[in-house]
Structure 1
């Protein structure tokens, strides 16, 4: 399976590390509210970052607090479903349950301009 990526705010990831699971779905929405955790494949991440965290989307926030969680789907306990982001659109991976922190195999800072440092 391909690695899954999830873009999030660094402090949210640090909080999850302290409790053992990550339960944010997307910017400002929890797993409980959304029903799943939004993820991306590597080629999808730049557009997702621009849509959710681009200029003007987070007044007062700094880009340096964003991180990319690299998720090994084989370590997940919840199912992953590929579903369109909008009707007729491209399929995105969705995790239907909490993300165990040990399923995250790497954490990369999201760089301004749309890249993650390896």
Structure 2
């Protein structure tokens, strides 16, 4: 199983749990797909897009459960990132982790599986 990750405000994720589906952040909706990261990309994504933010979850997703709507496309530095063209059914979620903020604005990234 390949695991991909989504960094998400806890409040937005709790709303997705109530609805049974995650439709993405404002940035995701603007871009037309939901942005994810591979395990090796999470730290860079957190630093670039979430520095200083608190109250975040790191959502682990079974990539295979997303089917053909998941595309690996070039992004930051030409590296391939997973993008979901559609909604995320929360049934594909395998784990929800707290993404704890440090006093310097960075985050403690837990050990992740690929």
Q: Which residue of 1 aligns with 2:57?
A: 67
RMSD: 2.0
Q: What is the CA–CA distance in structure 1 between the aligned matches of 2:16 and 2:95, rounded to whole Å?
A: 14
Of residues 36, 41, 60 in structure 1, which corresponds to 2:38? Answer: 41
Runs (5+) with no aligned partner, structure 2? 102-106
**Aligned residue for 2:104?**
none
For residues 64 and 96 of structure 2, the distance between their equivalents in structure 1, rounded to whole angstroms, comes to: 17
TM (norm. structure 1) is 0.80
Q: Which has the higher helix share?
A: 2
What's the TM-score, normalizing by structure 2?
A: 0.83
SS at match of 1:18: helix
The count of aligned residue pairs is 107
